[in-house]
Every structure is written in C-alpha cells, then in structure tokens.
Amino acid sequence: QVQMVESGGGSVQSGGSLTLSCSASEYLDSTYSVAWFRQEEGKEREGVAAIDGDGTTKYEESVKGRFTIALDNAKNMLFLKMNELKPEDTAMYYCAADPGPLTVVVGVPVPQGNVYYWGQGTQVTVSS
C-alpha cells in the first residue's frame, strides 16, 4: 500500500503563489500516472493536472499557464507550483497515483473509488 502525503497548502491573497508537495512512501515506476485533484466543499474531486506514465501531461483549462505539475522520480516526490492564484482556486488539494492514465480525468469530477492511491489532502485558501 503506497502512502501519499501532501504539504504546502495555506492561505494567500489573490495573485500569490504556493507550491504543493506530495511524498510517496515508495517508488512509483513508469507504469503509474500521477495527478493533483481539488475538491470544493459539497462537490466531487476534479482533476487539476496529471502526468501519465508515458509522460503525457494535461492541465484543467482554468489553470493552464498558472499551474505546473512536476515529478521527481528519484525522490518519489510530486509537486504542483501554483502562480497567480485566484479565489476560485480555493479548495482541498489531493495528490493521487494510479496504474491507469489520469490525464483522462483532468477537468472532470471523479469518485474517490476510481483512483487507486490518494493523499489526505492539503487546504488552499485564496482571499480576494
């Protein structure tokens, strides 16, 4: 069972930046896809950015040009650098990993049971 732990969330003003980190308890080989999801209160989790095992990367439309997903395989770390944050980016952010492609669920709601491994989440709050 792979444990995933996020960190780096917090409160920032509109226009600010945050970098989220996710540490996996063991190496995830290239057969795994990794992703960041976010969940607003009362809504399902939605894919924000993902990297598939073949290197394909995809971003949700509203974060393109502002967010960057990065994977450091040597350190079992996944990152999400978020710039130009907006109040509508406020959500709980989760990292995830799955043996199947995750770019296919970027921008769509995903039931929690549809993805193999989840972190516990880190809150991002952006004030106007």
Q: Is pLDDT of 30 > 90? A: no
- Local confidence band at 100 (pLDDT 50, 70, 90 cut-offs): very high
Provide the residue count of the chain: 128
pLDDT attached to residue 89: 98
pLDDT, tens digit (0-9, with 9 covering 90-100), for 74-93: 879 999 999 999 999 999 99
Cβ neighbours, 10 Å, residue 10: 13
Cβ neighbours, 10 Å, residue 39: 17
For residue 122, CA distances in Å to 6, 31, 41, 45 come to 6, 26, 13, 13
- Local confidence band at 124 (pLDDT 50, 70, 90 cut-offs): very high
- Local confidence band at 28 (pLDDT 50, 70, 90 cut-offs): confident
